[in-house]
């Protein structure tokens, strides 16, 4: 059996842990740039119809009247809270797959003699006691059914229960019959339309299709879901996270920018972020992609969008070199006269540091001067993000010209010592 443990309204719950005065009050968390709602707690959801991913400016007035408390997203805080939850789970199972910031699959193999329901409550209780975060637990004979059980736990049980186990054929069939196919993990919009067209409405209907049809129309991905729903576990728990194959970042500017210089500084900043992640996993990248785009929501502005991918002659994780190359790309794709909203960078073709193929004409040292990057990372780890940077990132003051809007960000409660140390 497999359990899926996931935190309820994770971001909103994280905020509430440090603001006990908000217990029982409606809380929502906004996306970057305070653009739309990405998390809402139970109270906020029950208050009124809160559409996720709706632009918040459209409904803000109404929500303020109803007493909803807003937070900008504070990923530093959420990451740390997530780490704490996942560490607790490691006490409950030898096989933990951290699936996302707020959920993990854990294997319950070899625990047949346990009462799994009691075990699930112990997990819930411990996490709440140590972190203040409420979680739901779904248990089933495979990942997809565990996901489904978790969904049922959230929907049909009370706030303090939030546990559901699919451990018999009767329960499995019942769950499948009561769940729409669109609500199954792995079935997205496109497959849902295709399935509805052949008369598949519930998850149970899906399991009655022939394997040949599923395989043909939905590839091996669909086949796995089909098998899992029928009770055959075929997705392994992945306990060792794979190293990343792409590392990218792309954030909207706080306002529209025409000026190439400011866009360059934002771009250089993003490069230094992704290169640091690359070095952390001891890898180098062979491809560097940069893109630039205007605000595609705007009906007034002229639209422009351009992406360019540059193969690097030698794979690297050197921030300074990557900034230099990114700048060249940016000069190539930038066209004056547009209001730009976003610049993005992406590293791909990622390989381990030790496998970099040098070339005949350039010294490898041009690409990876290890000492300098090591010092850079050590200083930033010790004194906080971006303490030491390339001069091309521009001054802190200038950063305010392009950085994200985060009007309602809470303090970084769990990691603030780093910020204090900087002062």
Interface with DNA, residue 409, by CB under 7 A = no
Interface with DNA, residue 101, by CB under 7 A = yes
Interface with DNA, residue 247, by CB under 7 A = yes
Q: Which of 170, 199, 220, 400 binds DNA (CB under 7 A)?
A: 220
Candidates 171-179, 202-210, 245-253, 326-334 — which segment interacts with DNA by CB under 7 A? 245-253
Q: Which of 19, 22, 35, 42 binds DNA (CB under 7 A)?
A: 35
Of 256, 277, 362, residue with least CA distance to 315: 362
Q: Which of 47, 260, 277, 320 binds DNA (CB under 7 A)?
A: 277
Task: Considering the complex, state which of residue 113 and residue 300 has its C-beta at the smaller distance from DNA.
Answer: 300
The β-bridge partners of 349 are: none
Candidates 33-41, 86-94, 204-212, 324-332 — which segment interacts with DNA by CB under 7 A? 33-41
Q: Which of 192, 209, 312, 386 binds DNA (CB under 7 A)?
A: 192
Q: Which of 251, 324, 327, 418 binds DNA (CB under 7 A)?
A: 251
Candidates 20-28, 31-39, 387-395, 415-423 — which segment interacts with DNA by CB under 7 A? 31-39
How many residues at the interface with DNA, by CB under 7 A?
A: 50
Q: Which of 15, 43, 97, 103 binds DNA (CB under 7 A)?
A: 103
**Strand 37-40 to strand 69-72: parallel, antiparallel, or no bridges (unpaired)?**
unpaired
**Contact in structure between 144 and 184 (CB atoms under 8 Å):** yes
Q: Which of 19, 59, 80, 186 binds DNA (CB under 7 A)?
A: 186
Task: Considering the complex, state which of residue 238 and residue 375 has its C-beta at the smaller distance from DNA.
Answer: 238
Q: Which of 23, 87, 159, 298 binds DNA (CB under 7 A)?
A: 298
Of 167, 183, 177, 165, residue with least CA distance to 208: 177
State the binding string over 332-371 for DNA (x if CB under 7 A, else -): ---------xx-x----x----------------------
Candidates 125-133, 243-251, 315-323, 413-421 — which segment interacts with DNA by CB under 7 A? 243-251
Interface with DNA, residue 295, by CB under 7 A = yes
Cβ-proximal residues to 189 (8 Å cutoff; 6+ apart), any chain: 182
Candidates 62-70, 122-130, 295-303, 388-396 — which segment interacts with DNA by CB under 7 A? 295-303
Q: Which of 64, 198, 211, 221 binds DNA (CB under 7 A)?
A: 221
Interface with DNA, residue 244, by CB under 7 A = yes
Q: Which of 287, 304, 334, 413 binds DNA (CB under 7 A)?
A: 287
Interface with DNA, residue 246, by CB under 7 A = yes
Least spacing, CB of residue 8 vs DNA, in Å? 12
**Contact in structure between 148 and 111 (CB atoms under 8 Å):** no
Candidates 95-103, 153-161, 165-173, 196-204 — which segment interacts with DNA by CB under 7 A? 95-103
Task: Considering the complex, state which of residue 65 and residue 113 has its C-beta at the smaller distance from DNA.
Answer: 65
Interface with DNA, residue 306, by CB under 7 A = no
Interface with DNA, residue 265, by CB under 7 A = no
Q: What is the 3-state secondary structure (H, E, C) of the chain?
A: CEEEEEECCHHHHHHHHCCHHHCCCCEEEECHHHCEEEEECHHHHHHCCCCCCCEHHHCHHHHHHCCCEEEECCHHHHHHHHHHHHHHHCCCCCCEEEEECCEEEEECCCCCCCCHHHHHHHHHHHHHHHHCCCEEEEEECCHHHHHHHHHHHHHHCCCCCCEEECCCHHHHHHHHHHCEHHHCCCCCHHHHHHHHHCCCCEHHHHHCCCHHHHHHHHHHHHHHHHHHHCCCCCCCCCCCCCCCCCEEEEEEEEEEECCHHHHHHHHHHHHHHHHHHHHHCCEEEEEEEEEEEECCCCCCCCCCEEEEEEEEEEEECCHHHHHHHHHHHHHHHCCCCCCEEEEEEEEEEEEEHHHCCCCCCCCHHHCCCHHHHHHHHHHHHHHCCCCCCCHHHCCHHHHCCCCCCCCCCCCCCCCHHHHHHHC
Edge-to-edge strand list for the sheet holding 69-72? 37-40, 27-30, 69-72
Task: Considering the complex, state which of residue 27 and residue 288 has its C-beta at the smaller distance from DNA.
Answer: 288
As a whole number of Å, the CA-based R_g of the chain is: 24
Least spacing, CB of residue 149 vs DNA, in Å? 13
Instruction: Name the site residues for DNA (rule: CB under 7 A).
Output: 31-33, 35-36, 38, 53, 55, 57, 99-103, 147, 184-192, 219-221, 242, 244-252, 256, 277, 287, 295, 297-298, 309, 311, 341-342, 344, 349, 404
């Amino acid at each position: 059996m497999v359990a899926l443990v996931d935190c309820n309204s994770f971001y909103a719950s994280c905020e509430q842990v440090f603001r006990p005065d908000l217990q029982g009050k409606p809380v929502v968390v906004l996306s970057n740039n305070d653009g739309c709602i990405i998390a809402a707690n139970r109270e906020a959801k029950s208050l009124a119809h809160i559409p996720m991913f709706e632009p918040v400016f459209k409904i803000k007035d109404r929500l303020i009247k109803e007493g909803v408390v807003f937070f900008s997203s504070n990923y530093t805080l959420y990451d740390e809270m997530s780490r704490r939850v996942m560490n607790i789970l490691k006490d409950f199972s030898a096989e933990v797959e951290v699936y996302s910031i707020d959920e993990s699959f854990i294997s319950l193999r070899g625990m047949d003699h346990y009462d799994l329901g009691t075990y699930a409550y112990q997990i819930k209780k411990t996490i709440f006691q140590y972190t203040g975060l409420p979680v739901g637990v779904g248990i089933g004979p495979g990942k997809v059914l565990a996901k489904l059980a978790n969904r049922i736990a959230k929907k049909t049980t009370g706030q303090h229960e939030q546990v559901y186990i699919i451990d018999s054929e009767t329960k499995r069939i019942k769950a499948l019959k009561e769940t729409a196919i669109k609500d199954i993990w792995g079935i997205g919009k496109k497959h849902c339309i295709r399935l509805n067209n052949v008369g598949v409405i519930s998850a149970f209907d899906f399991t009655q299709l022939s394997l040949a049809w599923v395989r043909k129309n939905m590839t091996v991905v669909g086949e796995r879901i089909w098998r899992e729903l029928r009770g055959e576990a075929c997705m392994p728990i992945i306990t060792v996270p794979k190293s990343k194959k792409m590392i990218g970042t792309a954030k909207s500017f706080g306002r529209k920018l025409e000026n190439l210089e400011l866009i360059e500084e934002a771009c250089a900043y993003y490069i230094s972020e992704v290169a640091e992640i690359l070095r952390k996993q001891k890898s180098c990248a062979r491809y560097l992609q940069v893109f630039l785009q205007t605000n595609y929501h705007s009906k007034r502005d002229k639209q422009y969008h351009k992406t360019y991918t540059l193969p690097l002659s030698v794979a690297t994780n050197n921030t300074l070199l990557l900034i230099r190359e990114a700048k060249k790309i940016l000069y190539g794709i930038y066209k004056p006269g547009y209001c730009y909203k976003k610049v993005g960078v992406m590293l791909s073709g990622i390989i381990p540091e030790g496998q970099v193929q040098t070339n005949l004409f350039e010294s490898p040292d041009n690409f990876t001067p290890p000492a300098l990057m090591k010092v850079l990372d050590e200083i930033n780890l010790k004194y906080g993000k971006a303490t030491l940077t390339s001069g091309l990132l521009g001054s802190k003051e200038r950063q305010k010209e392009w950085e994200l809007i985060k009007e309602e960000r809470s303090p970084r409660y769990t990691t603030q010592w780093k910020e204090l140390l900087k002062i």
